[in-house]
Structure 1
Amino acid sequence: MGDKKPPLIIIAGPTAVGKTSVSIEVAKNINGEIISADSMQIYKYMDIGTAKISKTEMNGIEHYLIDEIYPDDSFSVSDFQSKATEYIALIRDRGKLPIVVGGTGLYINSLVYDLDFTQAISNWELRSKYIEKAKQYGNQCIYEELKELDIESANRIHINDTKRIIRALEIYHETGKPMSYFYKDFRKENDKYNIIFIGLTMDRDKLYERINRRVDIMIESGLIEEVKKLLNMGYSEDLVSMQGLGYKEIIQYLKGNYSLDESIEILKRDSRRYAKRQLTWFRRDKNIEWINIHDFDNSNKLIDCVVKNIKEKL
């Protein structure tokens, strides 16, 4: 990539791998500011279940696309793409380096690749129709429809993942193209930026341990109270935000469909599955320079390695 292009640093990886703490230290080292590429942390009031970074943890580093919209606001990949592009320009105008950090693959791809999502708008009427259908007839019903329209996406999405099944159906009906079309071969690379793409990874068993522990911490920190509060504020369980990991499982517990232990186990299991899907997604991208956290015996050495890697490519 040409030297004249402005740099865009991306730090990606699965949930609970440690992207937040690494990105803060990296930002301090290279005079950067952070744009979140997390489809859940964008919502206000949803803090514990999204493992949202606190003001203290930010350590003086400016963050964007966190706490920007309300849980009942719509926010598409297209919205992310345009907002993130604005913030990249703003950060550069401030004389800083933009660092995009997150695990939502499609959000990251919207910046790394020349993808046009302008057609893939959110259709709330259609979405509500499918949510109702899933409630009435079960996930099997909408999953079978997806299999007919977009077998590739159906093979990649778990039958219990209502949110992603509906999103895939929505994209198909809105654009006339399957969601897999937008994923295929990652399309053409975005030549606006000098993209420096770092992927953080770790031993899978250790990652799963971290995910399980993180869920326990969420429960201890008041996730149940957070979900109750959101419902009391009038946010419906049918919202896309409330179908997110950590929220839908606790809603099922509050409705009496599961015991608390069952809900916690389902949340842990689904979080592990999500991490596995994230790794599969990112591993397809040959431009990512992978750094295994366990190759370093302390975090300073890890940060030094990431910073050195970035500085060499600036």
Structure 2
Amino acid sequence: MQSYSIESANGQAKLHLQDIGRPVPGSGQVLLRLHAAGLNRGELIAAHASTGAASRPKPLGGEGAGEVIELAADVSNVKVGDRVMGRCYGAFAEYALMDAAEAMLIPDGLSWQEAAAIPLAYLVAYDMLVVQGKLQADEWLLITGASSGVGVACLQLAKALKARVAGTSSSAEKLARLKALGLDVGIQTRSPDFCDAVMQATQDKGANLVVNNVGGSVFAECMRSMAYEGRFATVGYLDGQLSSNIDIGLLHAKRLVLFGVSNKLRSAAERAALVQRFTADILPLFASGQLRPVIDRTYPFQELPAAIAHMESDRHLGKIVLG
């Protein structure tokens, strides 16, 4: 089968398309014939951040949608022929393995491409907004880098929760498109200068929950933009800045909560538990049509380099998908 891998060295990433053997499901796994897969900037950031000698090529792609064609003997929650979506390692390939505990049945009415756009962005958004962020109706959410895949998922989920949303973007065109999706306040900037606009929108109360997709360059400004007992989720660092000063006095006086969102150190059981909650709470919204993934552009499998170039150009809004 054909599969993409990525090799990184000295801040450079090199793609490889190669023919390899079709994988065989082990305990708790299913084998998918993939129909679509979503792009995620995190994989590319990690590759560009590499230093030193070249790494061994690693399979590329972290989420996909496809048909179950084989499963391990101990798998009972899905069956051969099911249409499923979820996180899976090496999703930029004709076939890939997925842990059955993370496989979600695709709601009727969703295309393969739409399904592939859901797992990572919307699971992360659910983790930040509901599980850890405890966002409530009428509260204010601030999203930095609101046009990213995760940013758009956060906006859509927040509006489904009846929260109010402010978002930053350097593009007036993107903010206009986000307002059509429900964005209450758009702030055109790529600099740490949005606190005044947030305070004006919230009658000087600040944002109850902040999602920081950008990184350290806006960290301090995000804290200044927070409400009393506000929560602050750090999920990305598009700016490549991994450090920032923390105003401990502000943290103390406002009783702020700071948390990160990553699956890097989570156990398989913890990941599966999040999928179960998401399946119960959020998948019905996709099934009913209340939520619909926003796909910026879809590329054929052979055009992954062009899809990555489009992502790195920052011209997209929402998800980029292969399929």
The answer to which structure has the higher helix fraction is 1
* TM-score normalized by the length of structure 1: 0.33
The answer to which structure has the higher strand fraction is 2
Higher relative contact order, chain-length normalized (CA < 8 Å, sep 6+): 1
* TM-score normalized by the length of structure 2: 0.32
